[in-house]
Amino acid sequence: MQKIFTCENAASLEKLAKASFAIPPFLMMENAARSLADFILDFQPESILILCGKGNNGGDGYAVARLLQGKCRISIFSLEEPAAEEAKTQYEMCCKLNLEILTEADKLPQADIILDCIYGSGFHGELSQAAKKVLDFANSQEALRIACDVPSGLYFCADYTITMGCHKLTLYSDKAKEVCGKIIKSEIGISSNKLEADNTVAAELVEATDIKLPVRKKRSAHKGSYGHTAVFSGDKGGACILAATAAMNFGSGLTTIINHTGSGLSQFKISPSLMVSDKLPKKTSCILLGPGLVHHNLSDDQMIGDYFRNGDKRHAAVFDAGVFDMKGYIEEIKTYSQEASNQIVLTPHLSELQRFLKHVREFYPEVSYTEEEISIESLANSPETKVKIGREINRLFPSAALIMKSANTFIAYQGKTYIITDGSQNLAKGGSGDILAGMIAALLAQGYTALDAAITACEHHALTARSLGAESYNLTPEKLISLL
């Protein structure tokens, strides 16, 4: 996993480098510009348009222009006169090297590559109309678009974002995912180990190599070796069938649907590989409650309570979807999560998360998050808020992993945060969440920890969907399940 830092902008990185390692800011700018220039040259462009702002992000742009001189046709656009010291120096060098510097947005030329160096991760507030005009031009072009550190104002639509020195949390909001393209970390002359020692790690970036698929290596195994998943049927029976089928396809040795009156299960054909019962099997190793759930069912509550009270064995559960609409489950989940051996995973999408967080505040008004912080806008576009909320829920529900499903999915467990970035838009289809819940339950049933089950299921779910084409519109739950 790669580290993501709380360091939000280039200025704080420069301050750290100078104070701790005696590395001057100008040298850091040179290193950053060299990385950018080398990346650009790999595309063998005939022409490049570099958009520069007044700060050190603009300074990076001027330095790149100087390094690329003689290797392609270069046009520099200066939105504002340089204000930062290093930017002023780089600007002066470009002037003395007779590089073309434009100041009129109406005269911007076409180019093979457009490099956005207007604003970095330290920018806050609204873009000026002048900046929007330039960025609108850039976004309208057929050029390859590259952002330095972060797309300006999260308005520039980049094909690549080259983040300087370290991955920054601001790059992992839902809004950022829309415009960042592929994020690549660039070196600035300080090793990652040193940055990790002198900066605060906010989260870790989950990669394909971090998953632990339930590959069966034991030759003398039997079906009981791989657990028994019990999926409670909600009011919408199709959701629980999808979840149970996903659990079976993801390695659960046995899978039972817990049926009750009013579940609507009878309208569906159910695979003979799935069992149906009105009671919880004695050897259940994980329960799943929530898919298709609309109304609270007292018999389910009784079975779940009996399951968690049954002896000293390890208990595992996934709480999904409809659970988060019901205040009545808050205290029960909190009670179950106090036992360290229990493995619990909560799987809300953002609307469900908001409702869950409001219910939690009613029971535990001492929580630190505010009403404003749990708005859908904040939950989607403030990674810092997700990290904060994750830690608060981990404090209240200590053995539970919280999965905050969105364009970038955040997993919070025991005060740490993990981010899944491989999810794609083809998953925006009814049933996708039910499949993920079933996958997590299957792994818990097979003995995975809450964290390993959450990371493996979320990343594999994302990669499987992506393998069918991120922009495909015809992904169905059945097709996704068949590829697990």
Cα gap 43→287, rounded to integer Å: 52
pLDDT of residue 194: 63
Cα gap 27→172, rounded to integer Å: 28
Q: What is the DSSP string of 83-143?
A: -SHHHHHHHHHHHHTT--EE--GGGPPP-SEEEEES--TT--SPPPHHHHHHHHHHHHSSS
Cα gap 171→383, rounded to integer Å: 9
Residues of the chain with pLDDT under 50: 9-10
pLDDT in tens, 126-136: 899 999 999 99
User: pTM to 2 decimals?
Assistant: 0.91
User: Any idea where the domains of the chain sit in the sequence?
Assistant: 2-202, 209-482
Half-sphere exposure of 369 toward its Cβ, with a 13 Å CA cutoff? 29
Q: Which CATH architecture has domain 2-202?
A: 3-Layer(aba) Sandwich (3.40)
Contacts of 88 (CB under 8 A, 6+ apart): 59, 82
DSSP classification of residue 72: B
Under 8 Å between Cβ of 450 and 345: yes
C-alpha R_g of the chain: 26
Half-sphere exposure of 457 toward its Cβ, with a 13 Å CA cutoff? 38
Q: φ and ψ at 117, to 5 degrees? A: -125, 35
Query: How crowded is residue 429: how many other Cβ atoms within 10 Å of its Cβ?
Result: 16
pLDDT in tens, 236-257: 889 999 999 999 999 999 999 9
133's tokens? 């005009």
Query: How crowded is residue 327: how many other Cβ atoms within 10 Å of its Cβ?
Result: 15
Query: How crowded is residue 462: how many other Cβ atoms within 10 Å of its Cβ?
Result: 21
Cα gap 329→319, rounded to integer Å: 10
Q: What is the DSSP string of 170-206?
A: GGGSHHHHHHH-EEEEE--SS-HHHHHHHS-EEEEE-
* Cα–Cα nearest to 181, from 114, 109, 105: 114
pLDDT of residue 452: 97
Fold of the domain spanning 209-482: UDP-N-acetylmuramoyl-L-alanine:D-glutamate ligase (3.40.1190)
Please report where in the chains the tokens 């059945």 appear, as a residue.
478
